[in-house]
Amino acid sequence: MKRILVTGGLGQMGSELVPELRRRYGAENVIASDLRMPPAGADASEGPFEFIDCTRQSQVRAAVQRHRIDTVFHLAALLSAVAEEKPHMAWDVNMGGLYRVLEVARESGCAVFFPSSIGSFGPNTPKESTPQDALQRPTTMYGVTKASGELLCDYYYNRFGVDTRGVRFPGLISHIAPPGGGTTDYAVEIFYAAIRHGHYSSFLGPETRLDMMYMPDALRAVIGIMEADPGRLVHRNSFNVTAMDVTPEELAEEIRRHVPGFTISYKIDPVRQAIADSWPDSIDDSAARAEWDWMPTFDLESLTADMIDKLRSKLGA
């Protein structure tokens, strides 16, 4: 990786992946892009930025050629809850965007990182310790685009030799940029609410178990798979990766150790609850551990302590 383009670079993950890539590979070698413009007051000296709608192949191609890009981190997508509200747009952005990025990669010889999700699984997938190679019949538009995206990436590797790689992320917990409208957003909102109000009203029920990961580990996963020795990769795309599985009740209990008196109540959103219920309770990431030495560093305890610490500074609490 010498010249990098990140699509959807202003989102929850991109806001932290872009600076991390710039630290590693040089600010001038990492081009951030998004459909949105950077917020007013953003420091342009941090590195180059391009306005790119990933569904417009000409815009993706022009940026790849102008900046002599060799690796695209394709983050742009609609997340699960938004995708369920706007399924047609989700198909256009998630599938149309990926297809166009892969086409430009094929023309230009770029490698592509594609983040899939636990959302690529469905209600008839084994619910606990979901294996790497499991039945995938998702019932959400988000899941349909992620499962199809995994297959499309495999196809571009096998048919055209495009160096596609990816992971299936669980819910990502972070304190820099807000989440973009997913089913796991509660696991970020709960921290802000705990510090600001000492109370959180959860849109998922108390026993809803889902995999989660702290953003520093997610960044390590992205860079780890892209730097992995290709000779060791059996799966290449869509590796299960996880750090913990947790329910809202358990997360609240852990937060209470840092915010005494913190309370949680439940006002369940039937749409997001149904999405969460269709996903695994826990996934097995042993293939990623075996093929490219994946290993998370944060568990529930250390994640919670660090989130609370960082958010207290950020919110001046």
Amino acid at 174: S
140 binds ligand NAD (CB under 6 A): no
Distances in Å between the alpha carbon of 92 and those of 42, 86, 146, 227, 308?
Answer: 29, 10, 13, 30, 37
How would you write 153-212 as a 3-class SS string?
HHHHHHHHCCCEEEEEECEEECCCCCCCCCHHHHHHHHHHHHHHHCEEEECCCCCCCEEE
Bridge-partner residues for 116, per DSSP? 168
142 is annotated as an active-site residue: yes
Q: Which residue has tokens 């599985």? A: 245
**SS3 of residue 42 by DSSP:** coil
Q: Which of 4, 35, 204, 244 binds ligand NAD (CB under 6 A)?
A: 35
119 binds ligand SER (CB under 6 A): yes
**Nearer Cβ to ligand SER (50/211):** 211
174 binds ligand SER (CB under 6 A): no
179 binds ligand NAD (CB under 6 A): yes
Catalytic annotation, pick one of 142, 156, 157, 200: 142
Task: Pick what 10 binds: ligand NAD, ligand SER, none; C-beta below 5 to 8 Å, kind-dependent.
Answer: ligand NAD
Q: Which of 122, 138, 182, 248 binds ligand NAD (CB under 6 A)?
A: 182
Token pair of 58 as six digits: 């000409």
Stretch of residues binding ligand NAD (CB under 6 A), selected from 39-47, 104-112, 168-176, 253-261: 168-176
Residue 4 parent element (H or E): strand 4-7
8 binds ligand SER (CB under 6 A): no
Q: Which of 4, 6, 13, 21 binds ligand NAD (CB under 6 A)?
A: 13
Contact 123/277 with Cβ under 8 angstroms?
yes
C-alpha dihedral sign at 10, 94, 288, 179: positive
**Nearer Cβ to ligand NAD (199/306):** 306
**Nearer Cβ to ligand NAD (177/199):** 177
Sheet hosting strand 210-214, strand order edge to edge: 171-173, 210-214, 244-246
Contact residues for ligand SER, defined by CB under 6 A: 79-80, 117, 119, 142, 171, 182-184
Contact residues for ligand NAD, defined by CB under 6 A: 7-8, 10-14, 34-36, 52-55, 75-77, 79, 93, 97, 115, 117, 169, 171-172, 179-180, 182, 184
Enumerate the active-site residues: 142
